[in-house]
Amino acid sequence: MADLIGEARSRDDRGQIVLLVGFTLAVLFVALALILNSAIYAENLATRSETGAGDGPISVRNEVQSGTASILDFVNTYNNTAASHVTDNLTAAVEDYREIAGRRAAVDGRLVNVSIESIAMGSRLGQTNATRNLTRRDGTANWTLASGVHARSLVFDIEDNRTSSTSCSPGGKCFQLNATSGGDVWRMAVYENSTDMVVEVEGVDGTVATCSPSPDGSTRASIDLAAGTIDGTACPALRTSMPGPPYDLEVVHGDLATGTFEVIVDDDTIATSPDPDRYFGPTASESPRVTHAAYATEIRITQRSERIVYNGTVRVAPGEWP
């Protein structure tokens, strides 16, 4: 009997060991995949930016600008609770890119060097809770997102929260985003009528234009102001007589809509000293929240070959509006 018990325990132990080994291998494979994906991303970025031997300065400049824009998006999204985290990660990513791009260029007998000349810090304003209304932290429906700013990457995903589906207009009683520059006011109203979501814009010159690209029955509208799209479809109305920066960004009737938003502005004090009535701070998880962000960066590009000598600087601030 004792032998039977001992054999059973031995089988259990072997089973646990197999499970443990399997789990350990799974963890190792996941870790290896993350490492390889990071390396592949850096390699792909360098490949895009440092292409064939015949590529001229304009091509290299465009690809560096595109690649750096992707890096900016990444470092602003993750590990953004301190300004130093953002700048350190941005610097490290560009350094990694420089090393890989330099090695690839050397194969063709060229010198390519990429370095950061400056970083302009800002703040990332956002809400990730799609079921929450678009009021400020303390529940105020009419409020200012940011004052006297340049902004980029303005994306709003909005659902009408009114009790009845009726037509509205800029200045009416529905969710509205205003951009005010001096005496000029640009207004965007978002609402659901009896059949569809509608985005109606009144430009600074008084011109009114409308888009309704969402399928019938849709209750949400995903608006990308910089791209000029709604639900991925071009919306010319969003380009209607736009304001010149700097401007104030204001939400009107935020209690009449729910959804998410993201806006990056060139004012870093909003993240450094958050207004507790408007935003939760960088270390919080609640919405609406402000975190640290790199608004823009200037990249120095050097390219030398037998035929080309190029030194230039490119400013990267993707999705600036307007």
Whole-number CA gyration radius for the chain: 25
Buried b / exposed e along 35-62 (16+ C-beta atoms within 10 A): eeeeeebbeebbeebbeeeebeeeebbe
C-alpha distances out from residue 213 to 167, 210, 262, 314, Å = 16, 10, 21, 35
Domains recognised in the chain with CATH numbers: 123-296 (2.60.120)
Q: What is the pLDDT of residue 155?
A: 99
Q: What is the pLDDT of residue 24?
A: 38
Q: What is the pLDDT of residue 184?
A: 97
- The 10s digit of each residue's pLDDT in 183-209 is 999 999 999 988 889 999 999 999 999
Q: What is the average pLDDT score of the chain?
A: 86
Buried b / exposed e along 3-14 (16+ C-beta atoms within 10 A): eeeeeeeeeeee
Q: What is the pLDDT of residue 111?
A: 87
d(CA 249, CA 204): 14
d(CA 222, CA 232): 8
Buried b / exposed e along 192-226 (16+ C-beta atoms within 10 A): beeebbbbbbbbbeeeebebbbbeeebebbbbbbb
- Model-level pTM? 0.83
Q: What is the pLDDT of residue 46?
A: 54
Q: What is the pLDDT of residue 96?
A: 92
Q: Tell the residue number behind the tokens 């969003």, with chain if given.
A: 238
Buried b / exposed e along 100-130 (16+ C-beta atoms within 10 A): bbbebbeeeebebebebeebebbbbbbbeee
Q: What is the pLDDT of residue 103?
A: 87
- The 10s digit of each residue's pLDDT in 125-151 is 999 999 999 999 999 999 999 999 999
C-alpha distances out from residue 141 to 84, 133, 138, 287, 318, Å = 33, 9, 9, 14, 30
pLDDT averaged per 10 residues, the chain (length 322): 49 45 41 41 51 65 92 96 97 92 83 95 99 99 99 98 91 98 97 90 97 76 96 95 97 98 99 98 98 99 90 97 94
Q: What is the pLDDT of residue 215?
A: 64
What one-letter code names the amino acid at 87? T
